[in-house]
Structure 1
Amino acid sequence: MHQLTPEITIVGGGLVGLSVALGLLFSGRRVRVLDGADCDARASQGNFGLIWGQGKGADFAPYAHWTMDALAAWPGFAQQLQELSGIDVALDQSGGYEFFTDLSEMDAFKAELDQQAAHLGGRASYEMLYGDDLRSQLKGIGPDVVGASFSPGDGHVNPLRFLRALRCSVQAMGGRVTLGATVAAIRPQLGGGFALALADGEVAYTEQVILCAGLGAATLARDLGFITQVRPQLGELLITEKLGDRLPFLSSTIRQVDEGGVQIGGTKANAGLDDRETLPIMSKLAHHAVTVFPALADVRVVRAWGALRVMSPDGYPVYAKSGPNPGAFLVTCHSGVTLAPLHASVLAKWILNTSATPDLEAFDECRFALSHAA
């Protein structure tokens, strides 16, 4: 009989997998994280680092509340990571802007914020700033910007430092992180538990398995009876030289990292698994940045890249338990930074099915079966 150790194995060592691992370790479980190859599509190494709530869940109240819970939990979570890892993730949660050059688009987004606020009640906080009122508050905003929304709870972190802090924190708590461990197949065992066949020929046995591998979990998910079909969404980024002066704002498309460089992004495209950056998009990003903040016109771009987001059929997180294979879980989302504090706390209680188990039924994949959206 095979020994089932460690107690829980997580497939995927990105932001989502490591956050879940940390939550399970806090609950006293033994955890091993299997991280794939360097050449895998890794959203955790190409994301924008935003902690963002504006508009999220406007048409899905559970997601609006879930996001707001995460925003509130971030200060304590960042402190927790620093104590465990010794790494400052550079949390800045002093508010964020969405800029508009088209008044009708701004009005449409205001309607989304109003709907989100209707779900959240008194928890929602935002304001709309138009034209000269915006420019009087933020010096240097371009004349073609018609206005912006502002929400005080939005912010960002250094994404690569955050990834490192999570990995170090998992290891500090006694978790095992195995790099270069690609899982080729997962086989449920007759006596309970699972056998994980690795690409190098090794077989690992575990009592429970949690798929957090993003785009890499598609085949494994089907083998375990999950129906969710994730898809890639390409986002492209420009990175500028380091600036001595700080930008007077943070937006969902323009952010300055703590080291001084400016990231410019916000694109969305269906390009399959092709994560290459493209010149037309790079030009549009540069034009957008200069339109919003003309002072960036003379700043040098030093590199650019594309990265693949992990999208569920409706864009919302999926937290699913396998019916035919008890002990198998699927966790996937495209907001791994924003939701990390909840993945490292509330979601662990849901996985362990403790007396404090939260109601996350709204995020189950059964919603796709009912809507035929999977």
Structure 2
Amino acid sequence: MDTEADVVVIGAGTVGASIGYGLAGLGRRVAVLDGGDRDFRAAVANFGLVWEQGKGVDVPGYRILTREAITCWPEFCSALQDETGIDLHYDRTGGLMISMSEAEFERSSRMQARLRDQLGEEMPPWEMLDRAALEAKLPKVKLGKDVIGASFGHDDGHVNPLRLLAALHAGIVKRGGVLRGGATVTSIRSNGTGGTLVEYAGGRILAGRVVIAAGLGTKALAAQVGLDIPIRAQRGQILVTERIEPFLPFPMSGMRQTREGSVLIGLTHEEVGLDTATTTAAAAVLSANALRRIPGLREVKLVRQWAGLRVMTPDGHPIYAESDSHPGVFVALCHSGITLAAAHAGMFARSMAEGRLPAALDVFHHRRFHVSQAA
């Protein structure tokens, strides 16, 4: 046997790394196994939003999980920066969902009203802004003529996703965890005496518990322990401008300005399978949408375009589950890994340290997709 661990986390993207970082901070012997350089990695093509607005309407479990993550993010960020010395470029100044028509503005207003009816005094700090109020918040921006207004989430924000991932990896090691690259997992099986044996390229580990957080690789790995996890890839493309003077104080739907000054423009939602190619058609659509919002960007140069793959479930919500045939082996996956990072490093890591999923996450079991839909 090469080594032993209390918990093995398979996958070192934002989800797996957050869980591993949290477990290491709890004093558990944790090993986080990263795959190969050519793996599909949502973490390195992420827009970087830490976002609550619009999430969890009519889905109380997702609303509660997102609210916990958003609430914990400042403390999580501060601790991670202090431990690693890596500035995450996290800003929690608020976020805008722009309305480009009266119909969009009304739709956002109705959504907030429905949530207010559901929550009462617990309503998250969201508000609707008409065009005049929006212009007052954006003194350096000349809005396009089609902009009607926006909804504003006071607790929303953004972060540099690459810095976040680098800090999580550094934090795992600083906390005494093990991070292994090029460790593509080939087998997960019971050792017959209550443990789980994980075999990977270059070695094997015996662990008390295993968390499969391998993004698009989760389906095949989970099948080895009797879990049928329904996921698909969805391509998103992003444009990046040259660095310009700061003008956009808040991230908005489809646009944010980084600390370095670049403007990120996105996102597409393309059902093309495992294809990470960029396209001129997407660039044209993204550019046109950006110019409708802020015509002044016409003078700014585009310097880069990239594409990445989201990890999508049928309903867009996370999956957290334990294998019935292999107790102690869990699955954790979502497409909101940035937003939920603080919850994964906190509440979810604590539950893995105890060896059981909290009742609050039961609504995210993948059995929800196998319930017969009665006519």
Q: Aligned in 2, Cα 1:220/1:214: closer, same or farther, shift over 3 Å? A: same
1:35-91 CA-to-partner distances (Å, cap 9, x unmatched) read 001111100000011000111011211111111111111111110001111111011
Q: Which moved more, 1:315-324 or 1:349-358?
A: 349-358
Letter in structure 1 aligned against 2:209: Q
1:139-187 CA-to-partner distances (Å, cap 9, x unmatched) read 4111111121111010001111111111111110001100111112212
Q: Aligned in 2, Cα 1:370/1:55: closer, same or farther, shift over 3 Å? A: same
Q: 2:193 aligns with which of 179, 191, 194?
A: 191
* Mapped pair 1:171 → 2:170: no
**With structure 1 as the length reference, what TM-score do the two structures score?**
0.94
1:200-221 CA-to-partner distances (Å, cap 9, x unmatched) read 5x33322221100000111111
Q: Partner of 1:38 in structure 2?
A: 37
Whether the 8 Å CA contact 1:238–1:265 is kept in 2: the answer is yes
Q: Which moved more, 1:20-29 or 1:6-15?
A: 20-29
Q: Partner of 1:302 in structure 2?
A: 303
1:298-345 CA-to-partner distances (Å, cap 9, x unmatched) read 110000011101111211111111111001000000111101111001
* Mapped pair 1:360 → 2:364: no
Letter in structure 2 aligned against 1:47: N
Q: Partner of 1:316 in structure 2?
A: 317
User: C-alpha separation between the residues in 2 aligned to 1:217 and 1:149?
Assistant: 35
Q: Aligned in 2, Cα 1:371/1:155: closer, same or farther, shift over 3 Å? A: farther
Q: Aligned in 2, Cα 1:75/1:314: closer, same or farther, shift over 3 Å? A: same
1:9-52 CA-to-partner distances (Å, cap 9, x unmatched) read 11000110011011212222100010001111100000011000
User: C-alpha separation between the residues in 2 aligned to 1:355 and 1:267?
Assistant: 37
Letter in structure 2 aligned against 1:184: T
Q: Aligned in 2, Cα 1:310/1:24: closer, same or farther, shift over 3 Å? A: same
Paired residue secondary structure (2:197): strand
Paired residue secondary structure (2:4): coil
Q: How far off its partner does 1:264 sit?
A: 0.5
Q: How far off its partner does 1:291 sit?
A: 1.2
Q: How far off its partner does 1:366 sit?
A: 2.1
User: C-alpha separation between the residues in 1 aligned to 2:308 and 2:351?
Assistant: 30
Q: Partner of 2:254 in structure 1?
A: 253
Q: How far off its partner does 1:371 sit?
A: 4.8
Q: How far off its partner does 1:355 sit?
A: 10
Identity %: 40
Q: 2:148 aligns with which of 143, 146, 149?
A: 146
Q: Partner of 2:128 in structure 1?
A: 128
Letter in structure 1 aligned against 2:164: F
User: C-alpha separation between the residues in 1 aligned to 2:95 and 2:281?
Assistant: 27
Paired residue secondary structure (1:283): helix
Whether the 8 Å CA contact 1:53–1:67 is kept in 2: the answer is yes
Letter in structure 1 aligned against 2:335: H
Whether the 8 Å CA contact 1:228–1:313 is kept in 2: the answer is no
Whether the 8 Å CA contact 2:138–2:248 is kept in 1: the answer is no
User: C-alpha separation between the residues in 2 aligned to 1:335 and 1:82?
Assistant: 21
User: C-alpha separation between the residues in 1 aligned to 2:155 and 2:278?
Assistant: 31
Q: Aligned in 2, Cα 1:31/1:355: closer, same or farther, shift over 3 Å? A: closer
Q: Which moved more, 1:129-138 or 1:236-245?
A: 129-138
How many residues are treated as equivalent by the alignment?
A: 370
* Mapped pair 1:84 → 2:83: yes
Q: Partner of 1:97 in structure 2?
A: 96
User: C-alpha separation between the residues in 2 aligned to 1:286 and 1:334?
Assistant: 24
Paired residue secondary structure (1:229): coil
**With structure 2 as the length reference, what TM-score do the two structures score?**
0.94
Q: How far off its partner does 1:357 sit?
A: 4.8
The within-5 A match list for 1:1-374 is 2=1, 5-121=4-120, 122-139=122-139, 140-200=142-202, 202-353=203-354, 357=358, 359-371=360-372
Paired residue secondary structure (2:314): coil
Q: Aligned in 2, Cα 1:123/1:354: closer, same or farther, shift over 3 Å? A: farther
1:252-297 CA-to-partner distances (Å, cap 9, x unmatched) read 3100111111100122111101011111111111111111112211
Q: How far off its partner does 1:356 sit?
A: 11
Whether the 8 Å CA contact 2:28–2:353 is kept in 1: the answer is no
User: C-alpha separation between the residues in 1 aligned to 2:5 and 2:331?
Assistant: 18
Q: Aligned in 2, Cα 1:235/1:175: closer, same or farther, shift over 3 Å? A: same
Whether the 8 Å CA contact 1:65–1:120 is kept in 2: the answer is no
Paired residue secondary structure (1:308): strand
Cα-Cα RMSD:
1.9
Paired residue secondary structure (1:203): strand
Q: Aligned in 2, Cα 1:248/1:342: closer, same or farther, shift over 3 Å? A: closer
Q: Aligned in 2, Cα 1:310/1:147: closer, same or farther, shift over 3 Å? A: same
Paired residue secondary structure (1:7): strand
1:109-145 CA-to-partner distances (Å, cap 9, x unmatched) read 3322333334443241211122344334424111111
Q: Which moved more, 1:171-180 or 1:128-137?
A: 128-137
Paired residue secondary structure (2:87): coil
